[in-house]
Amino acid sequence: MSNVAALLFDVVGSRGRARDARHRALLAAVEVANTLVTATDPLRFTVGDELQGIYPSVPDALRAAYTLRLAASPEAELRAGIGVGEVTVIDEERGIQDGSAWWHAREAIDAVRERAADPGYRGLRTAIVGVEDPFLDATLGLIDAHLARLRGTTVGTLRGLLEGLSNSEIAQRESISESANSQRVINNDLRPLADAIRAVSGG
């Protein structure tokens, strides 16, 4: 496979407590992402808490990344690395793959982990290697910084916006009043955040 986007996830603070609950949350989130986002090779677990999948394009991979991150929150916080390049199947029976897309995805995971160690960038969770686009990189950084400041309950409202639900539909799903949901949207600037996520993920 050429010109694809390989997507790797690992869990931030994966050695913390409540691993069973986190794993269950991740299983449910993977099912959501695989249902909502078309993949060349759907998301699946590899070793421990790591996940991987292959997508036709960077926007598709980003849509899967945000879908999975929001679906898993707050039980699991995820770091995403996207690598653009080729994927080669070296063992079809065992599903073993190689290629520049995977090398780049691993490089992206390592890069975002290293950069987030700087207190000024501690909210970063997403990186792409294999394409040069400083505007996209900056936008992803702003999205990550905004997501890092959302409380768990607010994430549900953001998910609803991204799914195209109305205010009343989101409020019903979140078991809150329509007024309370509107205040979540306004107080957390969720509409421009949803617009930015849609812009980079082709949603």
Is the Cβ–Cβ distance between 78 and 63 less than 8 Å?
Answer: no
| pLDDT one-digit tens code per residue, 6-40 | 999 999 876 555 777 888 889 999 999 999 999 99
Query: Is pLDDT at 155 greater than 90 in this prediction?
Result: yes
* pLDDT computed for residue 70 by the predictor: 96
Q: At a CB cut-off of 8 Å and minimum separation 6, what does 42 contact?
A: 34, 53
* pLDDT computed for residue 156 by the predictor: 95
Is the Cβ–Cβ distance between 153 and 118 less than 8 Å?
Answer: no
CA distance 5 to 51: 14
Is the Cβ–Cβ distance between 67 and 82 less than 8 Å?
Answer: no
* pLDDT computed for residue 19 by the predictor: 74
Q: Which of 67, 1, 2 is nearest to 200 (CA)?
A: 67
Q: For the packed helices 152-162 and 167-174, what is the interaxial angle rounded to 10 degrees?
A: 140
Which of the two residues, 196 and 19, has the higher pLDDT score? 196
Query: Is pLDDT at 95 greater than 70 in this prediction?
Result: no
* pLDDT computed for residue 97 by the predictor: 73
User: What one-character DSSP code corresponds to residue 118?
Assistant: S
State whether the Cα torsion 122-123-125-128 is positive or negative.
Answer: negative
The pTM for the full model equals: 0.92
- Lookup result for tokens 């849609």: 198
CA distance 70 to 162: 10
CA distance 156 to 94: 37
User: What one-character DSSP code corresponds to residue 119?
Assistant: G
Residue 93: φ, ψ to 5° = -60, -40
| pLDDT one-digit tens code per residue, 99-137 | 999 999 999 999 999 999 999 999 999 999 999 999 999
- What are 6's strand-pairing partners? 54, 83
Under the banding of pLDDT at 50, 70 and 90, the label for residue 82 is very high
- What is the chain's mean pLDDT, rounded? 91
